[in-house]
């Protein structure tokens, strides 16, 4: 029994240690993860190996996320690059009881209302994957190349505001990074400062 | 108590000043937003060709809410100002007092609770003909508690109108909080591997030694576990952020040491033995 209790404690400690806060260096390896989707299916990064992958942290109740969803800016990006062969995972790391957290069915309804065009909408209520990537804000974007290397992390665009009117005058970093990468060119800006609400871990 | 005594002494004269400030046009009326209130005030009611007048943007936060510094930290948004000025007029950069650090779930925000006063200079062109000058401002600032909401206010302030002067003390107090140039201080920033070591020597007669803290002007240069956290002197160790693509060449931000806030923009020196080290 004693040994069993000790094992349990060790497992608990290991379990806690797995919840790590990380920041990944530019060109660093993107850690693998598996998360449940609102479609009821688990999705993993490794299953998308060989393709460009976009990770987009969101919280539909955050004004900065609304800025990009309200006029369809985010959905247009999702549509354009999934059609170009990329995999786009929209991830919500809001903890239960915090802003932006919804059960899978409700989230599916909200995503449908918004005409979300991602490959999958994933739920990370314990924040494990958010912390693994160092996702700080909603929105916060990470782009991974077909070899599993991070080629971009940061903001959607260059104007840190919650005003949709600023979208047209901003430089869209996601488009810049993916267009360059898909054309076989190096990504010019690999890190930008994300802006928005804090992720509600 | 000191404040109360002061108010009593000011008596009716104080009240007259307050009423005048409200009636004049050099202070736009406070604008109530959802979780904060903002007010724009000019230091002087008049401006002439080639002159600069300072404006104060004061934001008062509801209890439990905070707004952001120029580098908001891990999340948030710096205040945004959109000016509508008479032709040839220009607005300078926003001057901000050093921020406080707010931490939640491992994320660090830099900003202000309760109240903050930002200052900004407006300059009239040299050949300006004079007359009434209307300064328009749309200010947008983010407030967060558990939630974040963008707040905004539109102000119109008339200079050279029949206006009263700004309330006494507002600008003096706001200016006293702004970071100073480090004149008389001996400061050196040295590169040490993935760290920058900052040695700080105050001028004679400075306040007592107290923990020092550095607030970086730019995101993703230093880790917020080292920058923004008070450290015991006489030197400060700042760790380069894993997100920094290149080693910063300059140390830019606000250093608070010996009770003084200093605006730093100094080169980061590479000691000879560290040359060629790839960050």
* Position B21 pLDDT exceeds 90: no
CATH number of the CATH domain containing B57 = 2.60.40.1250
Examine the domain organization and report whether B46 and B147 are in the same domain. Answer: yes
| pLDDT for res B16 | 34
Q: Which CATH architecture has domain A23-198?
A: 3-Layer(aba) Sandwich (3.40)
* Position A111 pLDDT exceeds 90: yes
Each domain of chain A, given as residue ranges in start order, spans: 23-198
B224 in a domain, yes or no?
A: yes
Picking from B127, B157, B177, the residue at the C-terminal end of a domain is: B177
Q: What b/e readout covers A113-143, taking b as 16+ CB neighbours within 10 angstroms? A: ebebbbbbbbbbbebebbbbbbbbbbbbbbb
- Assembly ipTM: 0.83
Q: Is A26 on the interface with B (CB under 8 A)?
A: yes
Look up the domain containing B128 and give its range. 27-177
Instruction: List, in order, residues 6 or more apart from B46 with CB less than 8 Å away.
Output: B53, B159, B160
| Secondary structure element (H or E) that encloses residue A53, with its range | strand A53-57
CATH number of the CATH domain containing B200 = 2.60.40
* Average pLDDT rounded to a whole number, residues A169-197: 96
Examine the domain organization and report whether B38 and B167 are in the same domain. Answer: yes
| pLDDT for res A20 | 63
Q: Is B149 on the interface with A (CB under 8 A)?
A: yes
| pLDDT for res B201 | 92
Instruction: List, in order, residues 6 or more apart from A154 with CB less than 8 Å away.
Output: A140, A141, A173, A189, A191, A192, A193, A194
Which DSSP string corresponds to B6-21? HHHHHHHHHHHHHHHH
Which single residue is written with the structure tokens 């030197």? B235
Q: Which of B40-54, B187-201, B233-247 has the lowest mean pLDDT?
A: B233-247
Q: Which residue in A165, A198, A201 has the most chain B C-beta atoms within 10 A of its own C-beta, making it the best mutation to test that interface?
A: A198
* Average pLDDT rounded to a whole number, residues B158-163: 82
* Position A120 pLDDT exceeds 60: yes
Q: Which of A111-115, B20-24, B130-134, B268-272 has the lowest mean pLDDT?
A: B20-24
Out of B106, B150, B242, closest to residue A162 by CB? B150
* Position A68 pLDDT exceeds 60: yes
Do B217 and B248 form a contact (C-beta atoms < 8 A)? no
CA distance B71 to chain A (A): 10
Beta-strand runs (E) in A58-167? 87-92, 120-123, 137-138, 140-144, 150-154
| pLDDT for res B167 | 80
A196 contacts on B by Cβ (under 8 Å): 75, 77, 148
Q: Count the domains in chain B.
A: 2
Examine the domain organization and report whether B98 and B136 are in the same domain. Answer: yes
Are B74 and A162 a contacting pair at CB < 8 A?
A: no
| Angle at which helices A63-70 and A73-83 cross, to 10° | 60
* Average pLDDT rounded to a whole number, residues B242-263: 94
* Position B8 pLDDT exceeds 50: no
B235 in a domain, yes or no?
A: yes
Confidence label for B4 from pLDDT (cuts 50, 70 and 90): very low
């Amino acid at each position: 029994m004693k040994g069993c209790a000790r094992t349990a404690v060790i497992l608990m400690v290991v379990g806690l240690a797995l919840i790590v806060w990380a920041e990944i260096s530019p060109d660093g390896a993107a850690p693998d993860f598996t998360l449940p989707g609102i479609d009821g299916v688990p999705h993993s990064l490794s299953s998308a190996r060989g393709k460009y992958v976009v990770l987009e942290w969101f919280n539909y109740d955050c004004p900065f996320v609304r800025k990009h969803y309200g006029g369809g800016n985010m959905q247009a990006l999702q549509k354009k690059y999934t059609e170009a062969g990329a995999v786009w995972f929209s991830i919500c790391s809001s903890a239960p009881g915090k802003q932006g957290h919804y059960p899978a069915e409700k989230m599916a309804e909200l995503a449908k209302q918004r005409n979300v065009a991602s490959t999958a909408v994933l739920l990370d209520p314990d924040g494990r994957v958010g912390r693994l990537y160092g996702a700080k804000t909603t929105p916060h974007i990470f782009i991974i190349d077909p070899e599993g290397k991070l080629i971009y992390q940061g903001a959607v665009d260059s104007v840190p505001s919650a005003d949709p009117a600023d979208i047209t005058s901003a430089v869209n970093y996601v488009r810049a990074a993916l267009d360059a990468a898909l054309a076989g060119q190096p990504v010019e800006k690999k890190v930008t400062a994300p802006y928005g609400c804090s992720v509600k871990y | 108590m000191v404040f109360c005594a002061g108010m009593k002494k000011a008596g009716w004269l104080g009240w007259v000043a307050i009423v005048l400030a409200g009636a004049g046009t050099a202070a736009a009326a406070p604008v109530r937003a959802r979780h904060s209130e903002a007010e724009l005030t000019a230091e002087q009611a008049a401006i002439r060709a080639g002159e600069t007048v300072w404006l104060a943007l004061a934001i008062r936060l509801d209890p439990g809410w905070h707004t952001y510094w120029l580098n908001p930290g891990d999340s948030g948004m710096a205040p945004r100002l959109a000016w509508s000025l008479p032709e040839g007029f220009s607005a300078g950069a926003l001057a901000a007092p050093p921020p406080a650090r707010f931490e939640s779930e491992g994320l660090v925000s830099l900003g202000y609770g309760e109240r903050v006063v930002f200052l900004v200079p407006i300059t009239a062109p040299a050949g300006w003909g004079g007359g009434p000058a209307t300064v328009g401002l749309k200010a947008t600032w983010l407030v967060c508690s558990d939630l974040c909401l963008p707040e905004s206010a539109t102000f119109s302030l008339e200079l050279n109108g029949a206006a009263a002067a700004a309330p006494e003390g507002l600008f003096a107090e706001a200016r006293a909080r702004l970071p100073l140039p480090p004149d008389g201080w001996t400061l050196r920033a040295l590169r040490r591997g993935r760290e920058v070591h900052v040695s700080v020597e105050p001028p004679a007669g400075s306040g007592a030694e107290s923990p020092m803290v550095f607030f970086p002007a730019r995101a993703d240069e230093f880790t917020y576990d080292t920058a923004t956290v008070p450290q015991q002197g006489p030197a400060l160790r700042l760790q380069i952020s894993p997100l920094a693509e290149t080693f910063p060449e300059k140390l830019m931000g606000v250093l608070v040491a010996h009770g003084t806030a200093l605006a730093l923009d100094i080169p980061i020196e590479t000691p000879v033995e560290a040359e060629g080290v790839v960050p």
